[in-house]
Amino acid sequence: MSYVGPDFDAPEPRRPRRGPLMIAAAALVPAALLGWLVYEAVADSGGTPASATPRTGPSSAADSPADDGKLTGSAAAGAASLKGKVVLVDPGHNPGNFRHTTEINRKVDIGTNRKECDTTGTSTNSGYTEAQFTLDVARRLRTILEQQGATVKFTQDGDRAWGPCVDERAHIGNAAHADAAISIHADGAPQGDRGFHVILPASVHQGSADTRPIVGPSRDLGTRIRDGFNHVTGSPLSNYLGKGTGLVVRSDLGGLNLSTVPKVFIECGNMRDSKDAALLTSGAWRQKAAQGISEGIVSFLRG
């Protein structure tokens, strides 16, 4: 764009004499403008002028991608499908646990025995911690589930200096009356041990623990999460636990023993294996992990 400054004003052209045709055309401009304004006002108010033609094709708002990441178009139609459902998401460990070894090493009651409040978790050989991984996947999972209409509760969201302890993690889900609960982890097995597995609660009736009412629903939840995770991520089932099923039953985890709502753990991969670590440290893959977990949870909640 050229600029004509105050010292370089362009000379005004000679104005031609207006004839009758030009006067008539000038009179039509305000009328046309008024008509357009009325059209826009009707459209903005939600109405549709009788002469308007609906937009189709890629320019339609229903088909265009959303800039804010929210569901649009046909996906939005099912956005409230989980309305009224509560999901407890438990990001395993806590990035600050290593600074509070005294607190996390104290023993708490898990029903079958007493066990450490929490641990620091594992990490990749390059130093990417399990606690960082679990919190990132948990937040991605929350976004997906909330877009489906679910209410998502966290045991911790990076807002605590350490913990919570494993017994408190279970109690948070119980107090929320969660319809489903998932604890997200990554393993620290030897190099060569690959793949993911889902941990289910054993039937425990001892002390303050009674998992008998949730064993069946938890197996259903865990099986669906296994299938969804495998489908979306393409990750193999564990080659070192679960005998090729991707499912492991345990009675030594307080987060499961003390739960009164359907709950499972998922070990998303082995942080000490170079191939698995390459996946776990990828943001794109973690998004797939969250999507895979959500598919299983949504399937379970919809029955």
Q: Which residues carry out catalysis?
A: 267
Identity of residue 240: Y
Is residue 223 within 8 A of residue 268, CB to CB? The reply is: no
- Give the separation between CA 13 and CA 24, rounded to whole angstroms: 23
CA distance 284 to 271: 17
- Please name the residue that has the structure tokens 């609960």: 181
Enclosing H/E stretch for 205: strand 205-206
How many H-runs (helices) and E-runs (strands) does the chain carry?
Answer: 9, 10
**Nearest in space to 146 (alpha carbons), one of 94, 80, 205, 204:** 80
* Tokens read off for 135: 């919190």
Query: Under 8 Å CB-to-CB from 300, ≥6 apart: which residues?
Result: 180, 220, 221, 224, 225, 262
